Amino acid sequence: MQETFYFGAGPATLPKVVLNKIKNELIDYRGMGLSVLELSHRSNEFMDVMIRAENLLRELMGIPDDYAVLLLHGGATAQYSMLPMNFMHLGEVADYVCTGHWSQKACNEAKRISNINQIDALVDSKLKSIKPIAQWPMSERASYVHYCENETISGVMNDIAGMDAVSLKASTLFCDMTSSILTRPTEVKDFGLIYASAQKNLGVAGLCVVVVKKDLLKNDVKNTSNFSPMVFDYKKCFEAKSLVNTPPTFAIYVLGLVLDWLKAEGGVTEMYARGQQYSKSLYELIDMSALYVNNVDARCRSDVNISFDIKDVILYEKFISLAESNHLLGLRGHNSVGGVRVSLYNAIPASGVEALLGFMRDFELSHG
């Protein structure tokens, strides 16, 4: 049977080794006669699962001891509310750098709660690009600067960490790394807080991983109404070791398995090398083609989510359906933008990228 490759943006492809392990442990977790789904979150077995997952993440990302790792509910979207709720005093301002759908969504949500300086950093003309940092109207004293490293929908990457210490490090950086975490090396100490939903590179939906500098958790919630529900209070979540309530146990278990796999594959350095190679060959094919076109400035093209259009729009549906009959799934772009999107998360194997490149070449030869 021909192998199926899934390029969807999330929930996304999982390593086969991980799926097989889940299958085996679903009915009988390590000889206990219980499913992993049935384990109590307060049992020693689950504590082990949680501690192992945290330690692996610390090792793979090089997370310093003065940072906490929180395993929370609510996806990245809950973080959009938690950030201003926890880190803004009345009258303070936070800078939100907008480069696409997700950073804009974070900004809009924060505006409902606090005083926000929206920085429109995207030049959304025929070729999408990001304005140089020097042109961003930063606040004099922002409580924090929020940005999204990789815009999953448009395939625009805002790779600013560590780039401009003068204008950014003055303030605390908060970053949405939902679609880029563990695909590239990250200098955690450059950040106040990093967050990522799990369903792309960390496993399955239902979990958001937060890496936060412990110093930031010293104070109680500071929002305008001086109130935040306990599940939305970082300090309480930290003190309760992410067990303010029952955590998403299955997603945490899968996180551990994905991180085990990632370590065995060579860690972040290897993932980065693979991702660079895969995205380079895909962009090369697109740039040399008369049929496919990518509209992102080469300086900020994503190496994780690669979007392109088919110049002859009539061929779009045919491209998608022929791809599907060739077992290449999940290529339809997000509803809001259309086009084709290839998500090259860590679990995509080289054979999948080869199969896609081959299909795109053949499609152009027979339809171009």
Q: How far apart are CA 20 and CA 16, in angstroms?
A: 6
Contact between 302 and ligand PMP by CB under 6 A: the answer reads: no
Q: Contact at 8 Å (CB) between 253 and 43?
A: no
User: Least CB distance from residue 146 to ligand PMP, whole Å?
Assistant: 11
- Pairing mode, strands 292-293 and 305-310: antiparallel
Q: How far apart are CA 139 and CA 133, in angstroms?
A: 13
102, 128, 235, 303: the catalytic one is: 102
Q: Which stretch binds ligand PMP (CB under 6 A): 69-77, 155-163, 164-172, 339-347?
A: 69-77
Q: Contact at 8 Å (CB) between 127 and 296?
A: yes
Contact between 10 and ligand PMP by CB under 6 A: the answer reads: yes
Closest CA to 102 of 276, 337, 339: 337
> Cβ–Cβ contacts within 10 Å for residue 201, how many?
25
Determine phi and psi for 330, rounding to 5 degrees.
Answer: 75, 25
Alpha helices by DSSP H, 228-343 = 234-239, 249-265, 267-288, 316-325
Contact between 95 and ligand PMP by CB under 6 A: the answer reads: no
Binds ligand PMP by CB under 6 A, chosen from 29, 67, 102, 234: 102
- Please say if 95 is a catalytic residue: no
Q: Return the amino acid letter for 120.
A: D
User: Least CB distance from residue 33 to ligand PMP, whole Å?
Assistant: 33
Contact between 232 and ligand PMP by CB under 6 A: the answer reads: no
Binds ligand PMP by CB under 6 A, chosen from 99, 143, 152, 201: 152
Count residues contacting ligand PMP (CB under 6 A)?
Answer: 11
Nearer CB in complex with ligand PMP: 149/364: 149
Contact between 77 and ligand PMP by CB under 6 A: the answer reads: yes
Q: Contact at 8 Å (CB) between 71 and 234?
A: no
Binds ligand PMP by CB under 6 A, chosen from 99, 129, 179, 346: 179
- Please say if 200 is a catalytic residue: yes
Contact between 148 and ligand PMP by CB under 6 A: the answer reads: yes
- Pairing mode, strands 128-130 and 150-151: unpaired
Q: Which stretch binds ligand PMP (CB under 6 A): 17-25, 91-99, 176-184, 313-321?
A: 176-184
Nearer CB in complex with ligand PMP: 68/148: 148
Residue with tokens 């967050």: 195
338, with CB counted inside 10 A (0-12, 13-18, 19+), is: middle
Q: Which stretch binds ligand PMP (CB under 6 A): 24-32, 56-64, 75-83, 306-314?
A: 75-83
- Please say if 131 is a catalytic residue: no
Instruction: Show which residues are catalytic.
Output: 102, 176, 200
Catalog residues that contact ligand PMP under the rule CB under 6 A.
10, 75-77, 102, 148, 152, 176, 178-179, 197
